[in-house]
Every structure is written in C-alpha cells, then in structure tokens.
Amino acid sequence: MESTRQSLMAVTMGDACGIGPETIAKLFRTPVAAGCVVIGDVAVMRRASAQTGGLLAVAEVADRDEALHTPPNCIPVWPVPGLTGGVVQAPQGRIDARAGAAAAACIKRAVELALAGQVAGIVTAPVNKEALAAAGVPYPGHTEMLQALAHPGGPKPAVRMMLANDELRTVLVTIHMALRDAIDAVTFDSVLATIRIAHDSALRFGMPAPRIAVAGLNPHAGEGGLFGSEEVTIIGPAVQAARALGIDAQGPFAPDTVFMRARQTAEHPGEFDIVVAMTHDHGLIPVKYLGVEEGVNVTLGLPFVRTSPDHGTAFDIAGTGRADPRSLMAALRMARRLAHASAHQATSDL
C-alpha cells in the first residue's frame, strides 16, 4: 500500500496568462485529481475556477497533510514563498514577465518538495519560453530547468525528453535548439547516452526488457552514406556500443518508417517499445499526430517523476474556458503509473 507521502502529486500552475490554470481547474472537477495539490497562486486558481464554471472552491494549504485532506470540489493550492505578487494582474493571452517569473518559482518549489519526498511526482502545466526569458529565467524550457534544479550545487544529471501516448514512445537526442545546431549535437556520445537513458528509465518504470529502435538523421537513414554519413560514422557505432552493454537497441532505421513499425495498436503489436530520434521534430511529430490530447511529455533521467501535457500555453483561447484538460489528465495518470512502478522497482532492488 502506498504511504500518504507517496500518494500526493504536485501540479504546477504553469504560465498564469495561458490555459494551464484552466486545465487544472477542469482536472479538479474530476475524480482523477484526488491526491493532487497545485503549486501556485491562490488568486490565479480562483480566477480559473470562475472561468471554467465556478462552484469550485480554492483553499490555501500549508503542508502535505492539509493537501491530502482537502474536501471534495476544492482545489488545494500550496503557495510558493516569495512568489511575485500580483501575477493575477498579468493580462491573459499575452507574454508577461510576471507570469514567467511565477511559473519558474512554482517549478522550483515543486522540485524542492519532490527531492524532500513530500510529493511522489510532478505534473507541470505549460510555460511560455518568451515569458521565461522576459523574466530573466536562464532556461529555455522545463527540461533544462528541471535538469539544473535536480541536484542543487552538484553536477547536472543527463536528462532526455520522452513524448508518449498509449501507442508510441519516442526519446530525443536533441531538443530545444536550432536545427543547424541540433545536427552538430548528434554525436556518438549523445546518441549512446540517449539510448542508455531510455533503457535505464524503462527498467526503472517496470519494463523488464525494453526494445529500442534508433532512427537515423538523414533521409532513408543515409542509404549507406549516399545522403549523409552520420548513420555510418556516429549513429550506427553508438547502437553497436549500446548492444555491447546488453541493451536491446537496433538501427539506425529510416526515420520516415520506424515510427509505424513501433506503433502499438490492437491490430498491430509494435516491433519496438521506444524509438530514439535525433531531433525534436523528427520525434515529436509522429506522437502529436496521433493526438495532442493524449500525448504526455516525460523527462527521463531525473531523480523524481515529472510529466507534462503535450501542448503549450495556447494564449489565443486563454480565459475563455475552452481549454481541453485531457492531455493534463493523461499526464497525471502516467505520472502516477511511473511513480508506482519506480517505487516498486526501488523496493525490489533492496
């Protein structure tokens, strides 16, 4: 049986000017939100409650026990010390430094709680990269920020982004950088590290023998060097090195077909459990095409579970109450599964 310490999940507020608070309010109108606490601003969440139908109380809580004993139809909000005042005054649907600073403060606090064992995992509502930059936050997004916060004062852990749904999982070698720079960042070491992180994370999350397909970088995976040499000189050798470590990795495969081979459906059991892709769009387009509302972003390599919905701040509909909470709900369900599997694996290793 899970302890109360393991059962509480933190949901960060995200950018107050986007749809994150509204999706959270909608989440708390469902049974899925039981055992969750919002790390954020009470006033922002009260506005989100009103914009999504009202009749949903918002209560400030001071600790884990208060959060776990919040009555039904109530959003427990664990305030962030030093949170920028007046963030609720930032206009919805616009980039605002106040919202960027508040979003970063919420993430920092959630990481502190996770590292202290106060929460079992973190589900992050969307942030806006321009708002973070306007606030002087030195990270382009969640992944880089979480990496820096995971070991305060120590070396950054090697982390990777995985986007997943019930049919496909893809892990990225490179993420938020210009495509020209991303190609240069595809090195033997980065590809091998990604394969190892994908494998180790799959083991940690309860997959005993993960099958990993590695996609190429160039069309047709280079056609033996006709369309580029990276598959021959970098990616292929990294796959072989991973296999020498006992990892079931195969490839490089043509990136335009490998995702179809890995897709898991009732009619087509996938040939692979995970696809490692070289660049952001190579890996994310196939998963997002299957449905943004079901996609979940998972950060691999952290000392805690972190998931996020597969969409952005959607400033164009912020404040309208039309935001779809399904991706956030999927992120929460996956975070719980991963936290449970991770705890079970840790117990088994003792």
Residues 273 and 251 in one domain: yes
pLDDT in tens, 92-112: 999 999 999 999 999 999 999
On whether residue 308 sits in a domain, the answer given is: yes
Residues 196 and 254 in one domain: yes
Looking at residue 349, its pLDDT comes to 53
Looking at residue 222, its pLDDT comes to 87
Looking at residue 72, its pLDDT comes to 85
On whether residue 298 sits in a domain, the answer given is: no
Residues 125 and 174 in one domain: no
Residues 215 and 311 in one domain: no
Residues 29 and 74 in one domain: yes
Full domain range(s) for residue 82:
1-157+303-350
Low-confidence stretches of the chain (pLDDT < 70) are 1-6, 84-85, 292, 344-350
Residues 135 and 187 in one domain: no
On whether residue 187 sits in a domain, the answer given is: yes
Looking at residue 2, its pLDDT comes to 40
On whether residue 231 sits in a domain, the answer given is: yes
Beta strands (DSSP E) in the chain are 9-12, 36-40, 57-60, 74-79, 121-124, 160-164, 169-172, 212-215, 249-253, 274-277, 296-300, 305-309
Residues 268 and 119 in one domain: no
Residue indicated by tokens 């973190």 = 122
Residues 4 and 151 in one domain: yes
Q: Is the Cα dihedral 264, 270, 276, 277 positive or negative?
A: negative
